[in-house]
A and B are shown apart, each in its own frame.
Chain A
Amino acid sequence: SQQGEEDPQALSIQEGENATMNCSYKTSINNLQWYRQNSGRGLVHLILIRSNEREKHSGRLRVTLDTSKKSSSLLITASRAADTASYFCATANSNSGYALNFGKGTSLLVTP
């Protein structure tokens, strides 16, 4: 079963705008990761945030984590057409062991 659920399912913006996508999960976690997938190909790791962290930055990416609400958000600033992809959150906890639990993803379309 899916641990995380991303929202919205799809998002369409123009280049230069910011894109925000959210992830909610059900059980306690050790960390939460965000991955990107282009056109049904392999996933690429973007950023990881530990359960004791509240915010993390990497380039144009900003991730927040609210463990009390069991939710995370990924912000992509100044989006580019190359950011068009599906974005997934993945959680890991002591129950899941080595398995990453993925949500259904947010499909992002950035138009020039």
Chain B
Amino acid sequence: DAGVTQSPTHLIKTRGQQVTLRCSPKSGHDTVSWYQQALGQGPQFIFQYYEEEERQRGNFPDRFSGHQYPNYSSELNVNALLLGDSALYLCASGEREHRKNIQYFGAGTRLSVL
């Protein structure tokens, strides 16, 4: 049973470009959340998707957008990249009915913006 998978592992972009990160949730999970983790910091919640809709959003600008497909996989899109967007982007999946909100994380995509 595969866990949460993310692609690509590493990505290098230049300022102003756009990037798409991908995530496949753990089998049986129907929610996907995205987190941004800057170096030396804890993960910061970007948003969560459920039933192909953004269910909740953290304090991130509209440059950050996402999508969830019928098979529960998800994408994170970031437009007009800034140097400050350089970070580890983590995808996490869970079960909507799981009241404890335990999240299962992928290995992350490390984005470097030059």
Contact = CB atoms under 8 A, between A and B. Distances in A.
B21 to A, nearest CB: 14
A105 B59 CA distance: 20
Given A97-B56, A98-B33, A99-B58, A42 B90 contact: yes
B33 A102 contact: no
Nearest to B59: A1
Interface residues of A, number: 25
Given A92-B101, A98-B31, A42 B108 contact: yes
Interface stretch (B11-19, B41-49, B63-71, B72-80): B41-49
B45 A100 contact: yes
Interface in A75-111: 88, 92, 96-105
Contacts of A4: 42
B25 interface: no
A60 interface: no
Most buried by B among A35, A48, A99, A103: A99
Interface residues of B, number: 29
Interface string B97-114: 000111111111010000
B40 interface: yes
Nearest to A48: B100
B43 A43 contact: yes
A72 interface: no
A92 B92 CA distance: 15
A104 B42 CA distance: 4
Contacts of A105: 41-42
Contacts of B59: 1
Interface string A35-69: 10000111111001000000000000000000000
Interface of A: 1-2, 4, 31, 33, 35, 40-45, 48, 88, 92, 96-105
Interface of B: 4, 31, 33, 35, 37, 40-45, 48, 55-56, 58-59, 88, 90, 92, 100-108, 110
8 contacts: A31-B101, A41-B108, A42-B4, A42-B90, A97-B56, A98-B48, A98-B55, A98-B56
